[in-house]
Amino acid sequence: MHKKRLFSQIAAASAAVLILAGCGSSSDSASSGVPKVDMMKELGAGEGQVNIVAWAGYVENGSTDPNVDWVTGFEKETGCKVNVKNGATSDDMVALMKTGEYDVVSASGDASLRLIYGGDVAPVNTDLIPNYADIFDNLKMQQWNSVDGVAYGVPHGRGANLLAYRTDIVKPAPTSWGSVFDANSPYKGKITAYDSPIYLADAALYLMKTKPELGIKYPYALDQTQFDAAVELLKAQKPLIGEYWGDYLKHVASLKSGGTVLGTTWQVNINLAKGEGTKVEGIKPAEGSTGWSDTWMISSKAKNPNCAYLWINHIASPAANAGVAEWFGEAPSNAKSCDLTADKNHCATFHAADDAYWEDVYYWNTPTEECLDGRTDVKCIPYAEWVKAWSSLRNS
């Protein structure tokens, strides 16, 4: 009797709830072309704040290091208070932008196209951004930041993913990515890798150079065989890994404590670790590396579009661009910032104008079914499958 009563009550409640749940869900439908999003025509008054999704180290207001601050001045000048959320990976950033709560994002190539085709970002009116004119030409209107001649963002800077190693622990110094894939590595359990599906491209890059018989021409264009080979490589690597990193600070702390002695990193992490007294270096190995060329983009649902434009213009200005490039350790996008860096050799060190250096740096891109290397005889594996494979790998 008792049970029956409870059952009927639960049934009634569930029915009510399911009916409520069924009605009233709204969401976007998939689009095949680029969704039409309006471009802002003219700049109005600042809204008082701007919400930014950025890579760690891109939006510094002095709280990490009192001397590193290109935000406070901006806030005073424009009255736009800056709220920044660090995205750990491109996937994070895409998701955050989809919520519509952020106005600006610093998107890498493996996020930018998804944002454009998902209708999450708006075309940028470059007339409203005076500093756009000074950006290096070979960064503008690229495959990952423009569609059909329409610019969707302002280039930020570019860099390569480096191989970090503790100079006092890893001897001799590594010269190849092979050191993180070496099954007999003496540093087993202290190797790190970037915690994102895009890391599959690093595996593909290594295979591209060491197993030419697979025929990989571009790490982001992999057919089934090539993809499976990359996944196998990462599976074999897993026992060597101590931690996969997404939080750059945890990664730096690991490098400092010696929990991590070898693995993929960004220059900013090396700089931070060195600042803490760690003996660490980063190199671009013989095979080349993956990298990124970032773009500042504006949300299609931006609540503070004017402040958004003001921010983008500010970060693209020579002084701010120089500041970020030096702090993060990347090549700036504004040609004039090379004169403003504290280290006069910064642009040379980071090959800002040296095209040859970037020949074997493969910027993060979004793999699609249509092969990005131009092949039409096979289907390539789209990013959604990369995500699935990565998830499988991480959870097994």
Partner 1 sequence: MTISRNARLALAALMGVGLSFIYIPLSVVVINSFNASRTFSWPPTHFTTEWWSKALTNTGVREAIKWSVLAGLSATLIALVLGTVLAFAVSRYQFFGREVISLLVVLPISLPGIVTGIALNNAFTKQLGMSTGLLTVIIGHATFCIVVVYNNAIARLRRMGTSLQEASMDLGANGITTFRLVTLPNLASALFAGGLLAFGLSFDEIVVTTFTAGPGIQTLPIWIFNNLFRPNQAPIVNVVAATLVVFSIIPIYLSQRLSQDSTSGGRF
Partner 2 sequence: MIDSLATTMHKKPRLRLFALLTAPVLWLVVAYLGALATLLVTAFFTIDSFTGNVIQEFNLGNFQDMFTDAAYKNVVLRTLGIAIAVTLICSVLAIPMAFYMAKIAKPRSQKVLVALVLTPLWASYLVKIYAWRSMLEPGNGVIDWLLGPIGISSPGFGGPAIIIGLSYLWLPYMILPIYAGLERLPNNLLDASGDLGAHNWYTFRKVILPLIFPSLVAGSMFTFSLSLGDYITAQIIGGKLQMLGNVVYQNFSINLPFAATIATIPVTIMAIYLWLVRRTGALASM
165/254 Cα distance (integer angstroms): 12
Q: Which of residues 10-39 bind partner 2 (CB under 8 A)?
A: 13, 16-18, 20-22, 25, 27-31
**Amino acid letter for position 87:** G
* Least separation in angstroms between CB 256 and partner 1: 6
CA atoms within 13 Å, Cβ hemisphere of 26: 1
Contact between 22 and partner 1 by CB under 8 A: the answer reads no
Q: Which two tokens stand for residue 91?
A: 């996937």
Exposure class string for 48-60: b at 16+ Cβ within 10 A, else e: eebbbbbbbbbbb
Select 252 or 320, whichever has its Cβ closest to partner 1.
252
Residue 184 interacting with partner 2 (CB under 8 A): no
Give yes or no for residue 382 binding partner 2 (CB under 8 A).
yes
Question: Is residue 243 involved in binding partner 2 (CB under 8 A)?
Answer: yes
Maximum CA pair distance of the chain?
85
Encoding tokens for residue 266? 């960004």
Compute the distance between CA of residue 158 and CA of residue 358 in angstroms, rounded to an integer: 9
Q: Which of 272, 307, 325, 380 binds partner 1 (CB under 8 A)?
A: 272
Amino acid at 228: D
Count the residues of the shown chain that bind partner 2, applying the rule CB under 8 A: 47
Residue 272 C-beta: closest distance to partner 1, Å? 7
**Residues 159 to 178 in contact with partner 1, rule: CB under 8 A:** none
What's the CA angle centered on 363, arms 358 and 118, to 5 degrees?
150
- What residue type is assigned to position 214 of the chain? L
Per CB under 8 A, 49 contacts partner 1: yes
Query: Distance between CA 127 and CA 119 in Å, rounded?
Result: 22
CA distances from 363 to 92, 189, 337, 369, 378 (A): 18, 28, 22, 18, 23
Nearer to partner 2, 171 or 238 (CB): 238
For 243, list phi and psi in degrees, rounded to 5: -140, 140
| Of positions 111, 180, 200, 252, contacts partner 1 by CB under 8 A | 252
63 binds, among partner 2, partner 1, none (CB under 5 to 8 A by kind): partner 1
d(C-alpha 352, C-alpha 334), whole Å: 9
**What whole-number distance in Å separates Cα of residue 381 and Cα of residue 372?**
10
Q: Name which position in 114, 158, 190, 256 contacts partner 1 (CB under 8 A).
A: 256
Q: Choose from partner 2, partner 1, none: what does 306 bind? Cβ within 5-8 Å by kind.
A: none
Residue 64 binds: one of partner 1, partner 2, none (C-beta under 5 to 8 A by kind): partner 1
User: Quick check: 247 binds partner 1 (CB under 8 A)?
Assistant: yes
- Sheet with 280-283, edge to edge strand ranges: 241-245, 191-194, 262-265, 162-166, 280-283
What's the gap between Cα 264 and its chain centre? 14
Identify what 29 binds: partner 1, partner 2, none; CB under 5 to 8 Å per kind.
partner 2
CB of 71 to partner 2, least distance (A): 26
Contacts with partner 1 by CB under 8 A lie at: 5-6, 9-10, 12-13, 24-27, 49, 51, 63-65, 83, 85-86, 99-102, 247, 249-250, 252-253, 256-257, 272, 275-276
The residues binding partner 2 (CB under 8 A) are: 13, 16-18, 20-22, 25, 27-31, 91-92, 94-96, 98, 114, 117-119, 238, 241-244, 247, 250, 257-259, 366, 368, 382-385, 387-388, 391-396
